[in-house]
Structure 1
Amino acid sequence: MAAFLDIVHWPGCESIDWGEKRNTVASVASGVLFFSGWWIIVDAAVIYSSQEEMNHAFHTCGVFSTLAFFMINAVSNGQVRGDVYGEGCFGRTGARLWLFIGFMMMFGSLIAAIWILFGAFVVTGKAVYPGLAIFFQNVLIFFSTLIYKFGRTEDL
């Protein structure tokens, strides 16, 4: 079952050489996802501007998700593996700890966005769009982080 897609071939994609364009494509895709997440939440904040319609404290999830985006992408994969020449302040252990804290913040804000969606909007019967906007903002920033972190090569 693990290799059931090995027989599927897409002729148009086999001849594409992503070598020199991989960093550009990953950066643009990540930027579009990040921008779309913030665009959605700004739209919801403009439409539902009163405190009763959407609590302003719910924007905290997006702020922590954005902070985690910068924390995760501040550490290179070489620092985590220990392949770099300079050790930095705490070396490989510090880089791994920083990356772990960043991922914990990212997952925590994603879980909080799901909790806000269901706890504050779906269950109470309010308009669901602000909750969906908070959720999709965090999901888009999460995927933006993954694309930017793991979609690029190390030689920038």
Structure 2
Amino acid sequence: MPRWNEDQSHRVCLIPIPRLSDLGQKTRDAGIYIAGALFALGWWFFIDAVIYSSTYEGDKPVSVEFVDWVPGICSSLGMFIINLIDKASLRGDSFAFSGDSTSIVWKARVILFIGFAFMAGGLAGSISVLCVKYVIPDHGDPFTFWGICNVVQNAAIMISAAILWVAQNTESEYSFSI
């Protein structure tokens, strides 16, 4: 049965998440690997800025401190929360222990919202740190780079979460419908 013929009365978003099942298992695996590479690349940019900050030998009006770490930690936590949710529980297809499947759907959607809030807060926090700590005081070239690395880290984590979400929504050859 095609997706557009499904019952739309129980959907929150009428635009369905794309499925890559037509392209096969290799596409799903590639999506997972690309998401992992983006996640690692984001943290690589930030760790590079941290190391450069600690080894910078010039006059240092600012340095990478704990406030710079908080947005990346929030985005990573949001990504983990989002991708730990069972996708079937968002649609209401899962088994409910209490007999009321709407309570599980509601709880899953609240947790999903919290995960997205962590990721959005991480990206907004990194942009705020860039502006308030590095751009507005106009410290110069190597210092602005540290703030840009923080924004790149959080953007890469958000894109990674989106790719992983789509890749995990595809059917695996190892999944069974009982």
TM-score by length of 2: 0.72
Q: Is the 8 A contact 1:80 1:92 kept in 2?
A: yes
> What is the match of residue 23 of structure 2?
18
> What is the match of residue 64 of structure 1?
74
Q: Residues of 1 paired with 2:107 and 2:31: CA distance? A: 26
- Is 1:112 the equivalent of 2:125? yes
> What is the match of residue 140 of structure 1?
156
The letter for the 1-side match of 2:160 is S
SS of the aligned residue for 1:124 comes to coil
The letter for the 2-side match of 1:103 is F
Map 1:45-64 → 2, pairs under 5 A: 45-49=50-54, 52-64=62-74
Give the Å deviation of 1:76.
2.4
Instruction: Identify if the C-alpha distance between structure 1 residues 87 and 37 changes in structure 2 by more than 3 Å, giving closer, same or farther.
Output: farther
Say how many residue pairs are matched. 140
The letter for the 2-side match of 1:44 is A
The letter for the 2-side match of 1:28 is Y
Unaligned runs of 5+ in 2: 1-21, 55-59
Instruction: Identify if the C-alpha distance between structure 1 residues 51 and 31 changes in structure 2 by more than 3 Å, giving closer, same or farther.
Output: farther
Give the Å deviation of 1:135.
0.3
Instruction: Identify if the C-alpha distance between structure 1 residues 35 and 87 changes in structure 2 by more than 3 Å, giving closer, same or farther.
Output: farther
Q: Residues of 1 paired with 2:122 and 2:109: CA distance? A: 20
Q: Residues of 2 paired with 1:53 and 1:110: CA distance? A: 20
Unaligned runs of 5+ in 1: 1-16
Q: Residues of 2 paired with 1:79 and 1:154: CA distance? A: 16
TM-score by length of 1: 0.82
Percent of pairs with identical residues: 30
Give the superposed CA RMSD. Answer: 2.1
